[in-house]
Amino acid sequence: MSLRDKHIVIGISGSIAAYKIATLVRLLRKADASVQVIMTQEATQFITPLTLSTLSNNPVFVDYYDQKTGEWNNHVHVAESADLILIAPATANTIAKCAQGICDNLLQAVYLSAKSRVLIAPAMDLDMWIHPSVNNNIELLKSYGNVIIPPGKGELASGLVGEGRLAEPEEIFAYILDFFEKGMPLKGKKALVSAGPTYEAIDPVRFIGNHSSGKMGYAIANRLHELGAEVTLVSGPTVLSPAVGINRIAVQSAAEMLDACSKFFDQADITVMSAAVADYTPTEVADQKIKKKAEDFTISLKKTTDILATLGTRKHENQTLVGFALETNNELENAIGKLRRKNLDFIVLNSMQDKGAGFAHDTNKITVIDKNAEILTFDLKSKTEVAKDICRLIIKHQESLGL
């Protein structure tokens, strides 16, 4: 496969495995890719910038500016011009910085400015690779939408034998080819995802809400982004952050969520409404904090607009519309009813009867029903894996539309 017109940025950190990147650069250049190398100061101790500049036919960037000419190496420009960013070898130190958002060199500045997908190829000693702190940082990087290229097994620089070796150049090259060939089936598509709860104000300090954490919706948004879609995430209040490159719109109330979703729906090829939207909102909101005086207190409520049903009336034939149903009884019957009433292509059923599923958990157990009443059941999985299952169905539906 030719990589003509593909611009790949490679970030090299300070590991003995840095020497392998010379071979990778040659493989990429033979495939007609444009390659820009960025190195940390520590990396220059293992392989010279001159070697990589010669092989890539581009200057190698190490610092924020060239100390001889004073010319600025614009990290934003470097990041925005990349079709793919690869960090290899990624040391435990660099992985920690990426996971925690530390920016103390040019490589980190480029990473934090990334708009494209980021592949990370770790390289370190066995004891470091299996350390819990490294494992936690790897999981954080995955949650941000980064792709981890697993290290290989073999003899390490320390003399130990085990996992931690940088993947071979040919393996990394294969990952890059796979990324451009298969990794982005939704490239060019626009996706709209809603997530989290809504808060319906009673007075300036109190609200009606629910226990939704937003984890499922964020996992779906991140996965759609990984698959190449341009994702808009309309999020109720949550502590979560989406992957870099996702357009997050923060809302509080059901009315605000309706407005935001309505704005982006018509242009969306894919819409997944996973938010736990309040069914009722106070008729009146007090201007001042309500004092605790009476023994009994009554709040008058009115129905909120059904966002999913509203979008269903506007749905056109080339769109994929997915809804969620959290049920406590008559689960299938109620879910199928919602599917039909709201003109959905799929409805994802959660049952409160299933242990480990529903609000706030890191896991979920779903049943998916499509518009032809076909029922698919899935085992209890992490919400990241559940998101992959849902997205596979979305891809198949988009393909069935000939899109």
Q: Give the pLDDT of residue 64.
A: 85
Q: Give the pLDDT of residue 1.
A: 63
Q: 3-state DSSP: the chain helix, strand, coil percent, rounded to 5?
A: 35, 25, 40
Closest CA to 213 of 195, 200, 199, 225: 195
Amino acid at 178: D
Q: Catalytic residue at 74?
A: no
The model's pLDDT over 234-256, given as tens digits with 9 standing for 90+, comes to 999 999 999 878 999 999 999 99
The model's pLDDT over 178-187, given as tens digits with 9 standing for 90+, comes to 888 766 789 8
Please state the φ and ψ torsions of residue 343, each to the nearest 5 degrees.
60, 50
Active-site annotation holder among 58, 210, 247, 334: 210
Taking the C-alpha atoms of residue 151 and residue 172, their distance in angstroms, rounded to an integer, is: 10
HSE-up of 50 (CA within 13 Å, CB side)? 0
Determine which of 3-17, 50-64, 321-335 has the lowest per-residue pLDDT on average: 321-335
Q: Give the pLDDT of residue 116.
A: 84
Split at pLDDT 50, 70, 90, the class of 105 is very high
Q: Name the burial class of residue 69, with classes exposed (0-12), middle (13-18) and buried (19+) by CB atoms within 10 angstroms of its CB.
A: exposed
- pTM beyond cutoff 0.85: no
Task: Find out whether the peptide bond into 89 is cis, omega within 30 degrees of 0.
Answer: yes
Taken in order of first residue, the domains within the chain and their CATH numbers are 7-181 (3.40.50.1950), 190-400 (3.40.50.10300)
Q: Kindly give, in sequence order, each residue whose CB lies less than 8 Å from that of residue 115, ignoring residues fewer than 6 positions away.
A: 79, 80, 82, 244, 245
Split at pLDDT 50, 70, 90, the class of 69 is confident
Whether residue 155 is predicted with pLDDT greater than 80 in this model: the reply is no
Whether residue 60 is predicted with pLDDT greater than 90 in this model: the reply is yes
